[in-house]
C-alpha cells in the first residue's frame, strides 16, 4: 500500500472491479468440458471406438456448442480391464482438466472404480456402457444412458415362458463371470424357474481370456432345449464360432441370449452361424425409425455399424446437452444432475427417459431374431415390452 499510494490503489481497485464485472459473461462462455473415459485399446476396444464415433456423430449433427458454451470432449483410454487406471484418469480429469461431467465407462468394474471420484467432485457421471444393475447406487452423481442386464434379460425369460410352441423347457445358462453376467444369470434363473421352466445347470466363464469349448461340450452332452448366453460386447464372434464348431444347433440345442452376443458390429463376422438365434435387447441397427436410419448412415460414414454401446454414448451426449440447456449453461454439478433427472426423449432406439429416483434409463426392450436383411446379418425386432424399467436382481 505504501509503495502504491492511496490514489493509485483506488484506481487499481476500480479497474479490478470493472474487470470482475466482465468476468461473469467471459466465464459463462468458457468451454464446457466432458471427460470421456473409454477402452480404446485391449479386448474391449470396439466399445470405445463405437462410443467415440457416436460422440462425433452427435456433435456433427447437433453442433459443438449448447446454451452459449462450446462443448469440449477430452478422451482418455483406460485399456478396458484396469479399474485403478480408470479411477486415476477420472481423478486427473476432474482435478487437472476441470471437466464438469465424467462420461463413458465401458465395463462394470471400471464404472464402479470411478464412482467415488464423481461423488467427491460432485460432477455428474454419465455411464454409457457398463450395465450391472447396482451401478447407479454407487454414487448419487451417476446417471445411466445404456441399459441394465436385468432389464433386457427379464423380457426374454418371459417371452420363452409365454411361447410354449418354442418347446424351450430345459435351459442351461452360460454367462461371463462378473457383474453383468451374474445379473443376467440370476434374473433368467429366477424368472424362468418361477414361471415353471427348468434350469438344468448354470455355468460361468472367466472374463479374461475365456475358453468356451469345455463349457459348450458340457452343454452338448447335457442336451438341454436351449442355452441362455450372456457375454460382453466384443466376445460374441468367438462364442458363436465355437457354438458352430461343437454343432450345438445341429444337436437340437437352441441359442437364446441378450443382444450382447449378437452385437451388430460383430454380425458380419458371426454371420450365418447365428441364424435364428433369439435375443432380447434395447437396440438394433435395423430398428425401423427415421431417427435410427439417419444415425446408422452417419456411423457408417465413420466406418462402423452402429451398435448398442454407441447408442448409450449418443444418448449420453443428448442428456448432457439437454441438461445444459435447462440450466442455461450453468455447469454446477448438482444443477446439471437435477436437470438430467426425469428427462425424456426420442432416441434412435425408441422412446427413453431417465427415472428421477434411480437415475437409470427406462426404455423399450425388443425381442429379435437373427436374419439376413439385404445381405447384412441383422437383429430383426418382432415383439417388444414398452417403457421397461430395470427390475433389479
Ligand atoms: C459391463 O461390463 O457392464 C458390460 C460390458 C459389455 C456389455 C454388457 C455389460 O455388453
Residue nearest to atom 6 of ligand 1 (CA): 232
Question: Confidence class of residue 12 from pLDDT cuts 50, 70 and 90?
Answer: low
- Going by alpha carbons, the residue nearest to atom 3 of ligand 1 is 130
What are 142-196's pLDDT values in tens digits? 999 999 999 999 999 999 999 999 999 999 999 999 999 999 999 999 999 999 9
Q: Which atom of ligand 1 is nearest to the CA of 178?
A: 2
Instruction: Output the CA 129–ligand 1 centroid distance in Å.
Output: 6
Q: Which of 289, 279, 303, 282 is nearest to 377 (CA)?
A: 279
Model confidence over 213-230: pLDDT tens digits? 999 999 999 999 999 999
pLDDT category at 100 given cuts 50, 70, 90 is very high
**pLDDT, tens digit (0-9, with 9 covering 90-100), for 101-139:** 999 999 999 999 999 999 999 999 999 999 999 999 999
Are the beta carbons of 314 and 295 closer than 8 angstroms? yes
Ligand 1, residues 175, 187, 232: which to mutate, most atoms within 8 A of Cβ?
232
- Distance, CA of 315 to chain centre: 9
pLDDT for residue 22: 47
For ligand 1, the distance from its centroid to the CA atom of residue 348, given in whole angstroms, is 20
Which of 39, 127, 180 to mutate for ligand 1's pocket (most ligand atoms within 8 Å of CB)? 180
Distance 78 CA to ligand 1 centre (A): 15
Cα-to-centroid distance, 106 and ligand 1 (Å): 7
SS3 for the chain is CCCCCHHHHHHHHHHHHHHHHHHHHHHHCCCEEEEEEECCCCCCHHHHHHHHHHHHHHHHHHCCEECCEEEEEEEEECCCCCHHHHHHHHHHHHHCCCCCEEEECCCHHHHHHHHHHHHHHCCCEEECCCCCCCHHHHCCCEEECCCCHHHHHHHHHHHHHHCHHHCCCEEEEEEECCHHHHHHHHHHHHHHHHCCCEEEEEEEECCCCCCCHHHHHHHHHHCCCEEEEECCCCCHHHHHHHHHHHCCCCCCCEEEEECCCCCHHHHHHHHHHHCCCEEEECCCCCCCCHHHHHHHHHHHHCCCCCCHHHHHHHHHHHHHHHHHHHCCCCCCHHHHHHHHCCCEEEECCEEEEECCCCCCEEEEEEEEEEEEECCEEEEEEEEEEEEECCCCC
8 A C-beta contact, residue 171 and residue 200: yes
Q: What per-residue confidence (pLDDT) applies to 289? A: 98
Residues with CB under 6 A from ligand 1: 107-108, 129-132, 179-180, 232-233, 260
Which residue has its alpha carbon closest to ligand 1 atom 2? 107
> How many angstroms is it from 139 CA to the middle of ligand 1?
19
Instruction: Indicate if the alpha-carbon torsion angle 275, 276, 281, 282 is positive or negative.
Output: positive
pLDDT at position 25: 45
Please choose, from the candidates 111, 107, 102, 154, the residue with its C-alpha nearest in 3D space to the C-alpha of residue 136. 111
pLDDT of residue 384: 98
Q: How confident is the model at residue 7 (pLDDT cuts 50, 70, 90)?
A: low
pLDDT of residue 8: 54
Identify the residue whose cell numbers are 446408422. 296
Amino acid at each position: 500500500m505504501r509503495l502504491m499510494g492511496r490514489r493509485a490503489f483506488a484506481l487499481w481497485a476500480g479497474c479490478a472491479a470493472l474487470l470482475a464485472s466482465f468476468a461473469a459473461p467471459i466465464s459463462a462462455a468458457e468451454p464446457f468440458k466432458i471427460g470421456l473415459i473409454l477402452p480404446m485399446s485391449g479386448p474391449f476396444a470396439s466399445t470405445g471406438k463405437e462410443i467415440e464415433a457416436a460422440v462425433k456423430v452427435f456433435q456433427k449433427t447437433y453442433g459443438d456448442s449448447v446454451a452459449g458454451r462450446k462443448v469440449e470432449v477430452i478422451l482418455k483410454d483406460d485399456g478396458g480391464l484396469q479399474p485403478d487406471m480408470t479411477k486415476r484418469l477420472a481423478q486427473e480429469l476432474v482435478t487437472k482438466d476441470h471437466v464438469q461431467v465424467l462420461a463413458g465407462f465401458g465395463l462394470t468394474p471400471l464404472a464402479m472404480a470411478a464412482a467415488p471420484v464423481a461423488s467427491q467432485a460432485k460432477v455428474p457421471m454419465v455411464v454409457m456402457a457398463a450395465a450391472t444393475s447396482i451401478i447407479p447406487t454407487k454414487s448419487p452423481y451417476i446417471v445411466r444412458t445404456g441399459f441394465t442386464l436385468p432389464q433386457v434379460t427379464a423380457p426374454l425369460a418371459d417371452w420363452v415362458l409365454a411361447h410354449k410352441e418354442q418347446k424351450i423347457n430345459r435351459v442351461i445358462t452360460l454367462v461371463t463371470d462378473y457383474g453383468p453376467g451374474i445379473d443376467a444369470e440370476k434374473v433368467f434363473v429366477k424368472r424362468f424357474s418361477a414361471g415353471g421352466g427348468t434350469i438344468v445347470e448354470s455355468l460361468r466363464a472367466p472374463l479374461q481370456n475365456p475358453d468356451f469349448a469345455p463349457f459348450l461340450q458340457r452343454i452338448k452332452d447335457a442336451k438341454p432345449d436351449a442355452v441362455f448366453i450372456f457375454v460382453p460386447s466384443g466376445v460374441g464372434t468367438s462364442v458363436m464360432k465355437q457354438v458352430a464348431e461343437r454343432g450345438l444347433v445341429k444337436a437340437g440345442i437352441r441359442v437364446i441370449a441378450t443382444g450382447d452376443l449378437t452385437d451388430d458390429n460383430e454380425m458380419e463376422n458371426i454371420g450365418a452361424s447365428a441364424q435364428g438365434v433369439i435375443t432380447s435387447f434395447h437396440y438394433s441397427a435395423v430398428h425401423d425409425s427415421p431417427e435410427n436410419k439417419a444415425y446408422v448412415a452417419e456411423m457408417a460414414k465413420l466406418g462402423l455399424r452402429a451398435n448398442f454401446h454407441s447408442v448409450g454414448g449418443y444418448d449420453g451426449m443428448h442428456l448432457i446437452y439437454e441438461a445444459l440447456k435447462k440450466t442455461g449453461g450453468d455447469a454446477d454439478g448438482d444443477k446439471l444432475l437435477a436437470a438430467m433427472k426425469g428427462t425424456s426423449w426420442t432416441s434412435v432406439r425408441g422412446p427413453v427417459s431417465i427415472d428421477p429416483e434411480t437415475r437409470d434409463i427406462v426404455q423399450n426392450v425388443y425381442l429379435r431374431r437373427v436374419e439376413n436383411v439385404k445381405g447384412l446379418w441383422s437383429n430383426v425386432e418382432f415383439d417388444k415390452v414398452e417403457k421397461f424399467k430395470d427390475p433389479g436382481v
